[in-house]
A and B are shown apart, each in its own frame.
Chain A
Amino acid sequence: DAGITQSPRHKVTETGTPVTLRCHQTENHRYMYWYRQDPGHGLRLIHYSYGVKDTDKGEVSDGYSVSRSKTEDFLLTLESATSSQTSVYFCAIWAVNYGYTFGSGTRLTVV
C-alpha cells in the first residue's frame, strides 16, 4: 500500500459522538485524500490536502473536518457522528509517477 496505514481498521461508535480516523504515510507525498465508499456510489471525495495545513473540500464534505499538521498524517474528524456516516473510509495519496494509491480502509459503523 505504498506506505499508507489507516487506523483504526474497524470502529463502532454511537450517534452524536466525535470520531477521528487517521491516515499515516511514510513516503513524504504532498497530496492526500479522504474518500468514503458506499454501495451504488463508488468512492466519493470528502476532503483533500495539498500540503501541511493546506486542505480543501470535496464532493461530500458536510459533517467532516480534516487536519494535516505534519506531512505524514492526515486526520479525518466526524464532529458528531450520524448514522448516514456509516461507511468505509479510504485514505489515498497521489504521486505523479504512479497515480493514486489507497490504504486498506476503515470500516465505521454509527449506531
Chain B
Amino acid sequence: QQQVKQSPQSLIVQKGGISIINCAYENTAFDYFPWYQQFPGKGPALLIAIRPDVSEKKEGRFTISFNKSAKQFSLHIMDSQPGDSATYFCAASESTGSARQLTFGSGTQLTVLP
C-alpha cells in the first residue's frame, strides 16, 4: 500500500528551466511534508518542508506548493542548475505517539542539462 505517490519517475530539464515534481498522499493524519535531496553515494538530506496550515513555502529557488483539499503537494525548482541533478524524494509524516515516522514517495531522478 503506497501512501505517498510521486511523479514523474525521471525528469530532464534544461539549465535555467523550472523543475516540477508532484506527490499525492492518502492518509489525512499526515501533518508534516518534507522533501529530500539525495546525491549518489549519500544519504537523503532535508531540502525543504511544509506543514498543512500553509499553502506555499519558499526557500531560495525551491518552493513547496501544498493543496490540502486535493491531498497533493509539489516541489518547484526555479532556475534549475546542473548541480541540482540528484534524486528527490517527497515524504509525509504523522506523529505516532511520541515517535515520528516518515513515509516516502518512490523518488524522482532529476537531470539538469548544461
Residues of A within 8 A of B (CB): 1, 31, 33, 35, 40-45, 48, 50, 56, 58, 90, 92, 94, 98-105
Contacts and interface: CB of A to CB of B under 8 A. Distances in A.
B99 A90 contact: no
Given A41-B106, A42-B106, A43-B104, A1 B99 contact: no
Interface residues of B, number: 24
Interface string B20-59: 0000000000001010000001111110010000000000
A90 B101 contact: no
Q: Describe A's contact surface by its main secondary structure.
A: strand
A8 to B, nearest CB: 14
Contacts, number: 56
B6 interface: yes
B99 A42 contact: no
B107 A100 contact: no
